[in-house]
Structure 1
Amino acid sequence: MVSSIWTIALFLLGAVQGKEICYSQLGCFSDAEPWGGTVIRPLKVLPWSPEKIGTRFLLYTNENPNTFQNLLLSDPSTVEASNFQIDRKTRFIIHGFIDKGDESWLLDMCKNMFEVEEVNCICVDWKKGSQTTYTQAASNVRVVGTQVAQMIDMLSTNYNYSLSQVHLIGHSLGAHVAGEAGSRTPGLGRITGLDPVEASFQGTSEEVRLDPSDATFVDVIHTDAAPLIPSLGFGSSQLMGHLDFFPNGGEEMPGCKKNALSQIVDLDGIWSGTRDFVACNHLRSYKYYSDSILHPDGFTAFPCTTYKSFESNKCFPCPDEGCPQMGHYADRFAGRTSETQQKFFLNTGDSSDFARWRYGVSVTMSGKMVTGQVKVSLYGSKGNTHQFDIFRGLITPGSTHSNEFDAKLDVGTIEKVKLLWNNHVINPTFPKVGASKITVQKGDEKTMYSFCSQDTVKENVLLTLMPC
């Protein structure tokens, strides 16, 4: 009994005192609360030294899109000698746990940026600090975040570079690296958190994790927000930005389950295959972001209380203040953020291109009363959609049925609508059904487009409605 009391006393003493480690230029790091000895962070782990982590800053630009230039914190002349341009935005991409800065997805993201803008794209490689035990990697986040803040400070001090032009994009643990860097850089322009990791961060105080105070604008994409136990969700469900996006509800991404086994035998090798198998939902966040760069209006996200409400068609169309785009162009909505954190929902495709365009369709029926299903396809200046289900059940003339769907393309100006009905029941009277009016609305527009017809058709015969 006495020994157990001493054990508790020593533990409490350690919790109060805590250890501290100091690194020249970076400052000191403690393992006391809130960094350790708490319910969420029971283990006390100090971050490794910058030498052991070996963080590298790999600069790609429009002028050198395939080979990086290494920027050294210890040698500002490496910036001078590089293709870094002061009149461009600078976007840092920061990988997460067990990942590395020269992994193909970071460069692919840079290359997508080069298609739409002139930019300094810096991939932050801290693989030595991330490829260790999770608890140690989570602690190393603080040193890497401090180094990112130092690189930003060097650009600001030596080149009078504007902090508002800096955008940190962090995946997994990298989202919290970005948060650490942002908390040390007042006036930082933007942080994008790509599925910020849950373990050791969700529910902690703001100084430990990514939060809205870390930059002027913080946007977050949640793709693996199911609880870690028992669902093995790696990402956080906690709101951590001014705008938090939950594509497909934020927990199960389309294409992850059915592609899981095929990913394992992928030519990219066992590691990336296994990675996609284990963490497919978690990795989707950076794949969505990368696709969003090339589709400025393909990730319209709707404010809504829950995904269930969104799926029940209760959050369409966009409100008067509009809808943000999830991903690269979310900052176009920055001026419309509020003090309260906001949740947004949308659906994506199950493989790249992930972009989708949401339409609301309302059909007023005509013709005979029958039981069956009604489908509609849209034809526009940029192409046409496939047929989407609008209604199944008793079709009565004069009744109106509505539904929303996510199309693979923006059809442009809608020129006509085609309706198809069937019930797969042999009916010797060959009933005819039609639609007197169909209205269509695109999610991010207020305009309603109306199409009319006085005709009726037999089962499985297309009826074309023209503008009215």
Structure 2
Amino acid sequence: MILLWTISLLLGTVAGTEVCYDKIGCFTDNAPWSGVSGRPGKSLPKSPQVVNTRFLLYTNENQGSYQVIVADASSIKNSNFKTSRKTRFIIHGFTDTGENSWLSNICKNLFKVESVNCICVDWKGGSQASYPQASLNIQIVGAEVAYFVKVLQSSLGYSPSNVHVIGHSLGAHAAGEAGRRSSGAIGRITGLDPAEPYFQDTDALVRLDPTDAKFVDVIHTDASPFVPNLGFGMSQNVGHLDFFPNGGKSMPECKSRLATETVDLEEKGARFSLTCNHLKCLDYYTESILAPNGFTAYPCASYTDFTANKCKTCPSGGCPQMGHYADKFSGKTSAVNQVFYLKTA
């Protein structure tokens, strides 16, 4: 009996519409996770073995090559991870991989301005599936990150408030799941164009929302409706601060390139020009790390008013910087769904 119980924990025990795994908890196909408007069908995320979440650690000491670590005290202690530093997890999206260059490029820029534990989260085993399945698999990724944070806290005395999770597209919602399963104790979550399909206007449990961390900031760059315009990102405000550069729908570089050529973006999982807007948030965040005052954003009732120069002055509390330094804004958590606009070059 004990042997069967142990095997069921390791492999996952299905009871009706719920499956549970050792360490990371349980998952269900009940509402609001599936079978509801915006999330059709009834299905469960794939197992942790299939999703195969890996943690690739870069630090100031090993900037050019990662160390694979697991959520175990000895693995972490035997790596270059230092509890004196902040920890920033970076989570990729649909069809992507944690070894793609944009994740390590963020780490490289971070090393120029701080000492940091930069962990690229690879879940290609779950992201390279059909989109509906991948949108469910993010629950496993979020739970794995939450468990890692739990180990840091329980075994190394590391505060979750020193953790920052950065997620792109589906990865933004995985970050939200990590925050939810950490009871909102994570210091910060940054959503880089959170994915729209299966998440827009859904219950806050299944998507990124302001309760997932002490501070949640979001950059929207592809917020046109998925139908009919194929906008992959959410238009819904889901953070404390929601930034809409260039109005959040069409980025200048993408518009000019689409007019002249079919663009190969040279990124695995994002080879078509139609994903350009969805990917520009990665450029903006990466650049913002080295430009503390380069992305000033302004509160405004609409982008139309902003482009009419009706909102080009900052209120008494100042204006936030979109990107890495958004957390320096004094009013960052004074309210939720604060909207800001800016233009980029």
Please confirm whether the aligned pair reaches a TM-score higher than 0.5, indicating the same fold. Answer: yes
Which of 286, 301, 308 pairs up with 1:305?
Answer: 301
Cα distance, 1:335 vs structure 2: 4.4
Q: 1:315 to 1:128 in 2, by over 3 A?
A: same
Letter in 2 for 1:316: K
Residue 205 of structure 2: aligned partner: 207
Residue 117 of structure 1: aligned partner: 114
Secondary structure in structure 2 of the residue aligned to 1:258:
helix
Q: 1:265 to 1:38 in 2, by over 3 A?
A: closer
Contact 1:211–1:240, Cα closer than 8 Å, also in 2: yes
Correspondence list, 1:313-324, <5 A: 313-324=309-320
Cα RMSD, aligned residues only: 1.6
Q: Distance in 1 between matches of 2:153 and 2:344?
A: 38
Which of 30, 33, 39 pairs up with 1:32?
Answer: 30
Contact 2:215–2:332, Cα closer than 8 Å, also in 1: no
Contact 1:263–1:273, Cα closer than 8 Å, also in 2: no
Residue 54 of structure 2: aligned partner: 56
Which of 286, 291, 302 pairs up with 1:290?
Answer: 286
Letter in 2 for 1:29: F
When Rg is computed on C-alpha atoms for both structures, the one with the higher figure is 1
Identity %: 57
Letter in 2 for 1:327: G
Correspondence list, 1:15-414, <5 A: 19-73=17-71, 75-186=72-183, 187-260=185-258, 262=261, 264=263, 268=266, 274-275=271-272, 277-349=273-345
Count of paired positions: 329
Deviations 1:277-330 (A, max 9, x none): 120000011110000000000000000011000000000211111000000000
Deviations 1:428-458 (A, max 9, x none): xxxxxxxxxxxxxxxxxxxxxxxxxxxxxxx
Q: Distance in 1 between matches of 2:62 and 2:276?
A: 31
| Greater share of strand | 1
Letter in 1 for 2:75: T
Letter in 2 for 1:150: Y
Cα distance, 1:251 vs structure 2: 0.2
Q: Distance in 1 between matches of 2:155 and 2:270?
A: 43
Deviations 1:3-26 (A, max 9, x none): xxxxxxxxxxxxxx9612222222
| Greater share of helix | 2
Cα distance, 1:339 vs structure 2: 2.7
Contact 1:217–1:334, Cα closer than 8 Å, also in 2: no
Residue 377 of structure 1: aligned partner: none
The normalised TM-score by structure 1 is 0.68
Q: 1:51 to 1:340 in 2, by over 3 A?
A: closer
Secondary structure in structure 1 of the residue aligned to 2:152:
helix
Q: Distance in 2 between matches of 1:166 and 1:139?
A: 24
Cα distance, 1:347 vs structure 2: 0.5
Cα distance, 1:80 vs structure 2: 0.7
Q: 1:338 to 1:196 in 2, by over 3 A?
A: same
Q: Which runs of 4+ in 1 moved over 6 A?
A: none
My pick for the range that moved more, 242-251 or 331-340, is: 331-340
Residue 11 of structure 1: aligned partner: none
Contact 2:96–2:127, Cα closer than 8 Å, also in 1: yes
Deviations 1:191-224 (A, max 9, x none): 0000000111111111110000000000000000
Contact 2:90–2:119, Cα closer than 8 Å, also in 1: yes
Q: 1:336 to 1:32 in 2, by over 3 A?
A: closer
Q: Distance in 1 between matches of 2:205 and 2:131?
A: 19
Secondary structure in structure 2 of the residue aligned to 1:32:
coil
The normalised TM-score by structure 2 is 0.92
Point out which structure has higher relative CO (alpha carbons under 8 A, 6+ apart): 2
Letter in 1 for 2:280: R
Cα distance, 1:263 vs structure 2: 6.1
Q: Distance in 2 between matches of 1:210 and 1:334?
A: 22
Residue 465 of structure 1: aligned partner: none
Q: 1:118 to 1:316 in 2, by over 3 A?
A: same
Q: Distance in 2 between matches of 1:304 and 1:100?
A: 36
Secondary structure in structure 1 of the residue aligned to 2:191:
strand
My pick for the range that moved more, 327-336 or 110-119, is: 327-336
| Runs (5+) with no aligned partner, structure 1 | 1-16, 350-468
